[in-house]
Protein backbone atom coordinates (compact mmCIF):
# COMPACT_ATOMS: atom_id res chain seq x y z
CA UNK A 1 0.00 0.00 0.00
CA UNK A 2 1.46 3.35 -1.00
CA UNK A 3 1.49 6.49 1.15
CA UNK A 4 -1.42 8.15 -0.68
CA UNK A 5 -3.65 5.09 -0.31
CA UNK A 6 -2.75 4.77 3.37
CA UNK A 7 -3.62 8.44 3.86
CA UNK A 8 -7.01 7.92 2.21
CA UNK A 9 -7.70 4.88 4.40
CA UNK A 10 -6.59 6.83 7.49
CA UNK A 11 -8.96 9.71 6.72
CA UNK A 12 -11.81 7.25 6.16
CA UNK A 13 -10.99 5.57 9.49
CA UNK A 14 -10.96 8.96 11.24
CA UNK A 15 -14.33 9.95 9.72
CA UNK A 16 -15.90 6.66 10.81
CA UNK A 17 -14.38 7.01 14.28
CA UNK A 18 -15.84 10.51 14.69
CA UNK A 19 -19.24 9.44 13.39
CA UNK A 20 -19.35 6.64 15.98
CA UNK A 21 -18.67 9.32 18.61
CA UNK A 22 -21.66 11.37 17.43
CA UNK A 23 -19.99 13.82 15.06
CA UNK A 24 -21.87 14.44 11.81
CA UNK A 25 -19.30 14.77 9.00
CA UNK A 26 -20.51 17.48 6.62
CA UNK A 27 -17.42 17.92 4.44
CA UNK A 28 -14.33 15.90 3.54
CA UNK A 29 -11.22 17.38 1.97
CA UNK A 30 -12.40 21.00 1.90
CA UNK A 31 -9.96 22.73 -0.46
CA UNK A 32 -9.18 26.39 -1.20
CA UNK A 33 -6.11 28.33 -2.32
CA UNK A 34 -4.91 28.13 1.31
CA UNK A 35 -4.80 24.33 1.33
CA UNK A 36 -7.06 21.59 2.65
CA UNK A 37 -8.96 20.69 5.79
CA UNK A 38 -9.37 16.93 6.08
CA UNK A 39 -12.76 16.77 7.80
CA UNK A 40 -15.44 19.21 8.91
CA UNK A 41 -18.10 18.02 11.31
CA UNK A 42 -20.91 19.18 13.54
CA UNK A 43 -21.63 18.22 17.13
CA UNK A 44 -24.64 19.94 18.69
CA UNK A 45 -24.10 23.64 17.85
CA UNK A 46 -20.34 23.36 17.30
CA UNK A 47 -18.62 23.17 13.94
CA UNK A 48 -15.43 21.12 14.15
CA UNK A 49 -12.46 21.45 11.81
CA UNK A 50 -10.40 18.25 11.94
CA UNK A 51 -6.81 17.70 10.87
CA UNK A 52 -5.95 14.00 10.44
CA UNK A 53 -2.28 13.13 10.96
CA UNK A 54 -0.99 9.63 10.29
CA UNK A 55 2.34 7.92 10.77
CA UNK A 56 3.44 4.33 10.53
CA UNK A 57 5.36 4.51 13.82
CA UNK A 58 6.14 6.98 16.57
CA UNK A 59 9.91 6.68 16.15
CA UNK A 60 10.08 10.30 14.99
CA UNK A 61 7.34 11.52 17.32
CA UNK A 62 3.61 11.22 17.46
CA UNK A 63 1.60 12.23 14.37
CA UNK A 64 0.09 15.33 15.98
CA UNK A 65 3.58 16.65 16.72
CA UNK A 66 4.11 17.26 13.00
CA UNK A 67 1.60 20.14 12.91
CA UNK A 68 3.60 23.32 12.37
CA UNK A 69 2.68 26.95 13.02
CA UNK A 70 2.47 27.40 9.25
CA UNK A 71 -0.06 24.56 9.06
CA UNK A 72 -2.05 26.11 11.93
CA UNK A 73 -2.20 29.40 10.06
CA UNK A 74 -3.50 27.61 6.97
CA UNK A 75 -6.12 25.77 9.01
CA UNK A 76 -7.38 29.07 10.45
CA UNK A 77 -7.55 30.60 6.95
CA UNK A 78 -9.40 27.56 5.62
CA UNK A 79 -11.85 27.63 8.52
CA UNK A 80 -12.51 31.32 7.97
CA UNK A 81 -13.09 30.71 4.26
CA UNK A 82 -15.51 27.86 4.99
CA UNK A 83 -17.43 29.94 7.53
CA UNK A 84 -17.72 32.83 5.06
CA UNK A 85 -19.11 30.47 2.39
CA UNK A 86 -21.59 28.77 4.73
CA UNK A 87 -24.00 30.09 7.33
CA UNK A 88 -22.81 28.79 10.68
CA UNK A 89 -22.99 32.18 12.43
CA UNK A 90 -24.85 30.73 15.42
CA UNK A 91 -22.35 27.88 15.89
CA UNK A 92 -19.32 27.67 18.13
CA UNK A 93 -16.07 26.65 16.44
CA UNK A 94 -13.52 24.01 17.47
CA UNK A 95 -10.27 22.67 16.02
CA UNK A 96 -9.48 18.98 16.62
CA UNK A 97 -6.73 16.57 15.63
CA UNK A 98 -7.12 12.87 14.94
CA UNK A 99 -3.66 11.38 15.41
CA UNK A 100 -3.24 7.89 13.91
CA UNK A 101 -0.45 5.35 14.03
CA UNK A 102 -0.89 2.51 11.54
CA UNK A 103 0.38 -0.96 12.45
CA UNK A 104 1.14 -2.98 9.31
CA UNK A 105 1.40 -6.33 11.10
CA UNK A 106 -2.28 -6.46 11.99
CA UNK A 107 -3.54 -3.58 9.80
CA UNK A 108 -4.90 -1.61 12.75
CA UNK A 109 -4.77 2.00 13.88
CA UNK A 110 -3.97 3.49 17.25
CA UNK A 111 -6.10 6.62 17.50
CA UNK A 112 -5.83 9.70 19.69
CA UNK A 113 -8.56 12.34 19.49
CA UNK A 114 -7.21 15.70 20.61
CA UNK A 115 -10.10 18.10 21.04
CA UNK A 116 -9.88 21.88 20.92
CA UNK A 117 -6.20 21.93 20.03
CA UNK A 118 -5.78 25.32 18.44
CA UNK A 119 -6.53 28.70 19.88
CA UNK A 120 -6.68 31.94 17.92
Share of residues in the chain with pLDDT > 90 (%): 57
- Identify whether 119 is part of a domain: no
Alpha helix stretches (DSSP H) within the chain = 3-20, 69-85
Report the domain count for the chain: 1
Whether residue 110 contacts residue 101, with contact meaning beta carbons closer than 8 Å, is answered with: yes
Residue 120: inside a domain, yes or no? no
The pLDDT, as a whole number, for residue 72 is 83
- Asked whether residue 40 is domain-assigned, the answer is yes
Domain that holds residue 64: 3-114
pTM listed for this prediction: 0.90
Mean local confidence (pLDDT), 6-19: 94
Does residue 89 sit in helix, strand or coil? Answer: coil
Residue 12 is assigned to a structural domain of this protein: yes
Rounded Cα gap, residues 16 and 114, in angstroms: 16
- Tens of pLDDT, residue by residue over 55-101, are 887 767 777 877 778 888 888 899 999 999 998 889 999 999 999 99
What's the CATH code of the domain at 39? 3.40.1350.10
The verdict on residue 102 lying in a domain is yes
Q: Is residue 17 part of a domain?
A: yes
Amino acid sequence: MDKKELGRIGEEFAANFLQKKGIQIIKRNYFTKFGEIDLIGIENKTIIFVEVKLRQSNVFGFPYESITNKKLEKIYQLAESFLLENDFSDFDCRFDVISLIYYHADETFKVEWLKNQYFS
